[in-house]
Amino acid sequence: MIRSALIKRPPLFLSRRQHSSVTTAGSALDAYKIQASVPRLSLHLLPGEQESAEDPLVRYGYVRQVSAGSYHLLPLAHMVQSNIADLARRHMVSVGGVEVSLSSLSSPALWERTGRAANTELFKIKHEDGTSGESESARVQYILAPTHEEEITNLVATNIAASRRKLPLRLFQITRKYRNEKRPRGGLLRGREFLMKDMYSFDVTQDDAHRTYDEVANAYRAFFESIGVPFVVAEADSGSIGGSLSHEYHYLSPVGEDNVVTCHTCKYTANVEKALAFPPEEEDGAFMGEAAVQYFLSDDKTTLVAAYYPPDREFSPLHLLAELPEDTINAEAESTGIEVAEEFATQAKADDDEGLFTRRLIRVMDARLSRETNLPRLPFHANKGTTTTMVDVPLVMAQTGDLCPSCDDGKTPLAVAKAVEIGHTFYLGTKYSAPLNATARDPVSGSLVPIEMGCYGIGISRLLPAIASITADADGLHWPVSIAPYHAIVVSKDAEAATTIVKELRAAGVNAVWDDREDVSFGAAMRDARALGFPVTLIAGKQYEKSGLVELQPRDLSVQQLKEKRGDAAFQSSVKDLPAKIKELLKL
Ligand SMILES: [Zn+2]
């Protein structure tokens, strides 16, 4: 039984002769023969009825949710995602990228060495036999990789002898990554499983690494331009690395979770976490009420920093860090409440009675505060001799109306907008190469030095919902031609006509699909063609029967505009001229 079914299964690739013998009649298996040369919409797992979901990808049958934070991509979504991945691949290859595919099962020992094993968003797979060990890494068998700095640095360090290492090296991959998001939200935008393009660069000198960074950043711009959806490049926080070589690529969109500031005068663009926020004149030093405060302690607990700011604003720890000498405080402390100040006082008193006289208090005042501002009481008596006060510091996250930190006149107001982060370029220096002992020979000194690295990510599976939500309108999805699952959909009840048109188009490089669904009315098929977001709908109906002319309906035009254009020669074509006409229309 099974055996005969296998034998009867149609071959994956049809010979030319089989192609020409395809008909729409016959057994149910013929549908698959036709799919091979004429894609049919009925095989794309579209739901029978439109879903009521708010997410357009769910509503129009592109994706299906499996559980919180995980999704199945149905055929049309997978085609869009593959197109995005192919574009990304092309641009990475254009800067000398070599593709690899690393295992998702990463070694916990490597994460211990770089100090990232404790991250609570890592998915960890424990030993099945319950092996217990002294350390976390002994209990954990694998980490499901959310990113591959550790593994790829280790690969370069151990796989190629340092003397033979030919740098620069630019390795990239497009693979599934995992992140144990505690409260997954925003659909595919922030799932627990995602497809990412990640590139890692390896250079011997810092100069070379910076040049690599610029080249990859240019390739990123070219990639996002080729998609065709407007984007911004924002200066981003470079974390503990320092320096200015960290940029984020964003779509400005209300569905985003990031906030990006832009200045319309000097074009300064930055993540709100990075942008210093100077108050407009009327707010400068004008706040009179009771200030809010956050406390930070140095690792050795001898310095307390109290940061004061208006309570209706969001405090920015990064802005505070930027003002203080390096390593003054531990900015990653979980608590910044009054108990931190109490701990400081207790420690001081425990040392000796004079403890408070030998310890430092640094008070940092946001630029909006005035001399009249009430400051919350400290839980100890501050000693003037060891207290430093810094005033006029921008300590809060920027809001629309704050002044641009980059404009010369210092008077241009910033605009803050919601954004979806879709890419990130990052100069890493020796952050990973040093602990993982990835070295190369310095051409000048001749000695082995840690490799200079960079990492560069593109959220491939995030681009799918981001672009969908930005380009969708009241009629449904609206894909840019660059990534559309098909360029054109043919709506026709005439199987022979549809088959001829689709074959003609595909032979000329226009990717077309036939809406062959028998139980769907013409009107519903037309609505679906728009809702599914194909760049152009082709109709072979009554007019085609009479005159052999196919009607073209570009998705860019509204239903009203299409009504007005009906009968316009520019939107009709013979089958023979159709490929050229569509290529011109879609700029293929
Ligand atoms: Zn500016």
For residue range 25-62, what is the model confidence (pLDDT) as tens digits? 456 666 666 667 899 999 999 887 666 788 889 989 99
Q: How far is the CA of 280 from the centre of ligand 1 (A)?
A: 13
Q: How far is the CA of 396 from the centre of ligand 1 (A)?
A: 18
**Residue 371 and residue 323 share a domain:** yes
Q: How far is the CA of 272 from the centre of ligand 1 (A)?
A: 14
Q: How far is the CA of 320 from the centre of ligand 1 (A)?
A: 22
**Residue 286 and residue 263 share a domain:** no
Residue 122 belongs to a domain: no
Q: How far is the CA of 283 from the centre of ligand 1 (A)?
A: 19
Residue 244 belongs to a domain: yes
| β strands within 298-359, DSSP E | 303-309
* Mean pLDDT for the stretch of residues 535-563: 95
Q: How far is the CA of 269 from the centre of ligand 1 (A)?
A: 9
Q: How far is the CA of 262 from the centre of ligand 1 (A)?
A: 8
**Residue 504 and residue 517 share a domain:** yes
Q: What confidence score (pLDDT) does residue 194 get?
A: 94
**Residue 383 and residue 458 share a domain:** no
Q: How far is the CA of 463 from the centre of ligand 1 (A)?
A: 29
Tally the domains of the chain. 3
Residue numbers of the domain that contains 578: 2-42+483-586
Residue 572 belongs to a domain: yes
Q: How far is the CA of 258 from the centre of ligand 1 (A)?
A: 20
**Residue 286 and residue 272 share a domain:** no
Residue 169 belongs to a domain: yes
Q: How far is the CA of 6 from the centre of ligand 1 (A)?
A: 67
Residue with tokens 């000198």: 205
Q: How far is the CA of 392 from the centre of ligand 1 (A)?
A: 20
CA 552 vs CA 21, 32, 38, 183, 492: distances in Å: 29, 27, 19, 45, 13
Residue 13 belongs to a domain: yes
- For residues 516 and 528, give the distance between their C-alpha atoms in angstroms, rounded to a whole number: 12
Q: What confidence score (pLDDT) does residue 6 get?
A: 39
**Residue 362 and residue 230 share a domain:** no
Q: How far is the CA of 527 from the centre of ligand 1 (A)?
A: 45
Q: How far is the CA of 403 from the centre of ligand 1 (A)?
A: 8
Q: How far is the CA of 277 from the centre of ligand 1 (A)?
A: 12
**Residue 234 and residue 189 share a domain:** yes
Residue 283 pLDDT level (bands cut at 50, 70, 90): very high
* Mean pLDDT for the stretch of residues 155-178: 89
Q: How far is the CA of 216 from the centre of ligand 1 (A)?
A: 26
Percent of the chain with pLDDT over 90: 66
* Mean pLDDT for the stretch of residues 206-210: 95
CA 494 vs CA 304, 490, 517, 520, 542: distances in Å: 79, 10, 12, 14, 10
- We report the CATH number of the domain holding residue 498 as 3.40.50.800
Residue 341 belongs to a domain: yes
Question: Do 171 and 100 form a contact (C-beta atoms < 8 A)?
Answer: yes
Residue 297 belongs to a domain: yes
CA 248 vs CA 71, 261, 281, 463, 519: distances in Å: 26, 12, 30, 14, 47
Q: How far is the CA of 57 from the centre of ligand 1 (A)?
A: 37
Residue 197 belongs to a domain: yes
Residue 423 pLDDT level (bands cut at 50, 70, 90): very high
- For residues 180 and 121, give the distance between their C-alpha atoms in angstroms, rounded to a whole number: 4
Q: How far is the CA of 410 from the centre of ligand 1 (A)?
A: 8
514 has a pLDDT exceeding 90: yes
**Residue 267 and residue 168 share a domain:** yes
**Residue 97 and residue 24 share a domain:** no
Q: How far is the CA of 414 from the centre of ligand 1 (A)?
A: 7
568 has a pLDDT exceeding 80: yes
**Residue 228 and residue 90 share a domain:** yes
**Residue 216 and residue 95 share a domain:** yes
**Residue 298 and residue 201 share a domain:** no
| β strands within 19-168, DSSP E | 63-67, 70-73, 98-99, 105-106, 123-126, 140-144
Q: How far is the CA of 407 from the centre of ligand 1 (A)?
A: 4
- For residues 541 and 336, give the distance between their C-alpha atoms in angstroms, rounded to a whole number: 69
Q: How far is the CA of 331 from the centre of ligand 1 (A)?
A: 29
End-to-end CA distance of the chain: 48
